[in-house]
């Protein structure tokens, strides 16, 4: 997961905002796999927002939105102890 954080940091430092949403999605996947769906939700909300602001392809925005919904469901399940 550390490599994904570094990758995201580099994307942000390079000033290429169109590349940040995909980095956020990748890090969110890792957070979910690591058992932290709430952190994934936070990352994915930012990914969706930035993807919209940057005018990314509708399919890219939809992918991030789907991931966000899945992470929200996982967070609810985790809180319910399922």
Where the chain has pLDDT below 50, the residues are none
pLDDT at 63: 95
State how far Cα 78 lies from the chain centre: 18
Please provide the DSSP assignment of the chain as one string: -HHHHHHHHHHHHTT-GGGHHHHHHHHHHHHHHTT-HHHHHHHHHHHHHHHHHTT--HHHHHHHHHHHHHHHHHHHHHHHT-
Residue 27: which domain range? 2-80
pLDDT at 47: 98
Question: Contact, 7 vs 23, CB < 8 A?
Answer: yes
pLDDT at 82: 61
Residue 5: other Cβ atoms inside 10 A: 12
Number of domains forming the structure of the chain: 1
């Amino acid at each position: 997961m550390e490599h994904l954080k570094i990758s995201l940091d580099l994307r942000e430092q390079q000033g290429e905002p169109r590349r940040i949403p995909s980095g956020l999605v990748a890090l969110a996947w890792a957070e979910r796999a690591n058992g932290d769906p709430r952190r994934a939700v936070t990352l994915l909300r930012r990914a969706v927002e930035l993807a919209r602001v940057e005018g990314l392809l509708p399919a890219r925005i939809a992918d991030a939105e789907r991931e966000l919904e899945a992470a929200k469901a996982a967070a609810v399940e985790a809180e319910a102890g399922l």
